[in-house]
Amino acid sequence: MITGLMIADVIISILLIVVIICQSSKDAGMGGTVSGAAGASFGGKERGMDAFLSKCTIALAILFAVCSLVLGMLINNY
């Protein structure tokens, strides 16, 4: 069971990295924050693929956290 959770944790983490990399940037980076353009990036509503990737990121992050906590509790008991 522990080995299965470890494999699931690795797969979830790789998927989380891929989903985060696939998301489009919402601001101009550090240059945009200095020039004052960062205010336009807050409060925007995602649409289409960005909304889907955002929801996938949240779901994968929750799965990763739960899986890691359960794995930590199981390993701590042995």
**Predicted confidence (pLDDT) per residue in 10-64, tens digit:** 999 999 999 999 998 776 666 655 655 545 555 567 788 989 999 999 999 999 9
Amino acid at site 43: G
Tell me, yes or no, if the pTM score tops 0.95: no
Q: What's the pLDDT band for 69 if we cut at 50, 70, 90?
A: very high
The three-class DSSP label of residue 50 is helix
Q: Which of 6, 2, 10, 16 is nearest to 60 (CA)?
A: 16
* Euclidean distance between CA atoms 16 and 55, whole angstroms: 11
pLDDT of residue 28: 60
